[in-house]
Structure formats: structure tokens, C-alpha cells
């Protein structure tokens, strides 16, 4: 197999030199049709984990807008359990779920961010978390409807 080629929908593309044609910010989220290109194919160093997810679980004083007003800690705990049950956890260096303090997008919350793609999501319930896990974390497809 040629490491410099990728096939999408039956179309083979040469990737050699592709990385230098995109601005740096684009290379971090290089997608076409929702498919995320592995950074290794774009000559970008791989991160330690395949995907690293930060849940803002910040709790402010009563009345102030914050992610934990929407159950962020419980959703983070749920995501961690699901990732482990699906055997996608960090023992296999695949998906790491971490708590985060305020990520400074409080009015769009609750928020999570997924690296290395630098994709930000909001969510309402466990169904949204399940969709992010299944689509993005497991299969590498960005969930456009939840992106912020
Ligand atoms: S409290 Fe979550 S982004 Fe600020």
C-alpha cells in the first residue's frame, strides 16, 4: 500500500505535499465530506492519544452561566463509562476523556472539545454524547449538528 495515497469514494488521491498547501489551522481540521484525514498522512505529528476529549465541568456560583448547570460532570462521567465499555479507552491509547475548567465558551455550553481535530461541540443529553462517541470518537466523522 502506498502511504502517500488515500482513497475516498473510489477516488484515489495523492497526498504527498498536501500538508504544505493548507494553512496551519486548516490542517488541524482537514476534512472532506465529514471524513477526518489522519494527521500522519499530512506529515503532522500524531498526538499521544488518537483523540483527547475535554469536558468543561466548571461550576460557578448560583445564577452564573456555566457548563455544570447543564449536568456537565454527569455527562463526562457517562462518556468515560461508555468509552471504557466500548474498549476505546486510553489503555489502548485511543480515546482519553478529561475534566476541564472553564473553556471560555460559557454562553455556548455545555461544551466539549475534541483534539487533535480541534472540534468543539455542545450537547443536551446522553443521546448527543452517544452520537459524538459513535460518529466522531469511534468512526472519525464530525457531528455537524452539534458543532459550535
Ligand atoms: S463554564 Fe464551561 S466554558 Fe465556561
Residues 85 and 132 in one domain: yes
Task: Report whether the peptide linkage leading into residue 132 is cis, meaning its omega lies within 30 degrees of zero.
Answer: no
Residues 99 and 121 in one domain: yes
Please state the atom number of ligand 1 nearest to the C-alpha of residue 56: 2
Residues 58 and 88 in one domain: yes
Does ligand 1 have an atom closer than 6 angstroms to the CB of 56?
A: yes
pLDDT of 12 reads 46
Q: How many domains does the chain have?
A: 2
Residues 28 and 73 in one domain: no
Does the pLDDT value for residue 85 go beyond 90?
yes
The DSSP call for residue 9 is: T
Determine the average pLDDT of the residues in 60-86. Answer: 96
Distance from C-alpha of 147 to C-alpha of 43, rounded to nearest angstrom: 26
CATH number, domain of 125, equals 3.40.30.10
Residues 34 and 66 in one domain: no
- Is the Cβ–Cβ distance between 95 and 88 less than 8 Å? yes
Residues 37 and 55 in one domain: no
- pTM summary value: 0.72
Please state the atom number of ligand 1 nearest to the C-alpha of residue 108: 3
CA 63 to chain CA centroid, nearest Å: 30
Residues 30 and 82 in one domain: no
Residues 121 and 139 in one domain: yes
Residues 123 and 80 in one domain: yes
pLDDT tens digits, residue range 99-139?
999 999 999 999 999 999 999 999 999 999 999 999 999 99
6 pLDDT band (50/70/90 cuts)?
Answer: low
Residues 79 and 57 in one domain: yes
pLDDT of 63 reads 85
Q: Alpha helix locations (H) across the chain?
A: 24-28, 72-85, 126-131
Distance 56 CA to ligand 1 centre (A): 6
Does ligand 1 have an atom closer than 6 angstroms to the CB of 112?
A: no
Does the pLDDT value for residue 72 go beyond 50?
yes
pLDDT tens digits, residue range 20-70?
444 444 444 445 566 666 655 555 556 789 999 999 999 999 889 999 999
Residues 66 and 133 in one domain: yes
Q: Is the dihedral of CA 49, 51, 84, 135 positive or negative?
A: negative
Residues 17 and 55 in one domain: no
Distance from C-alpha of 141 to C-alpha of 134, rounded to nearest angstrom: 9
Determine the average pLDDT of the residues in 72-89. Answer: 96
Does ligand 1 have an atom closer than 6 angstroms to the CB of 103?
A: yes
pLDDT of 127 reads 98
Q: Which residues of 58-67 are buried (b: 16+ CB within 10 A; e: fewer)?
A: beeeeeeebb
- Domain span at residue 16 reads 5-42
Take residue 146 and report the three cell numbers written for it.
Answer: 452539534
Does ligand 1 have an atom closer than 6 angstroms to the CB of 122?
A: no
Determine the average pLDDT of the residues in 74-91. Answer: 94
Strands (E), the chain: 5-8, 11-14, 31-32, 35-36, 51-56, 95-100, 111-115, 119-122
Amino acid at each position: 500500500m502506498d502511504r502517500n495515497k488515500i482513497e475516498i469514494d473510489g477516488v484515489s488521491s495523492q497526498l504527498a505535499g498536501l500538508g504544505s498547501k493548507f494553512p496551519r489551522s486548516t490542517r488541524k481540521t482537514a476534512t472532506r465530506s465529514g471524513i477526518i484525514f489522519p494527521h500522519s498522512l499530512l506529515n503532522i505529528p500524531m498526538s499521544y492519544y488518537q483523540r483527547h476529549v475535554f469536558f468543561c465541568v466548571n461550576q460557578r456560583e448560583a445564577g452564573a452561566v456555566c457548563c455544570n448547570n447543564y449536568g456537565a460532570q454527569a455527562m463526562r462521567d457517562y462518556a468515560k463509562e461508555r468509552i471504557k465499555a466500548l474498549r476505546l479507552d486510553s489503555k489502548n491509547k485511543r480515546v482519553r476523556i478529561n475534566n476541564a475548567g472553564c473553556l471560555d465558551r460559557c454562553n455556548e455550553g455545555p461544551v466539549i472539545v475534541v483534539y487533535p481535530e480541534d472540534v468543539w461541540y455542545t450537547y443536551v443529553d446522553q443521546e448527543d454524547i452517544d452520537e459524538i462517541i459513535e460518529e466522531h470518537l469511534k468512526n472519525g466523522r464530525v457531528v455537524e449538528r452539534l458543532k459550535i
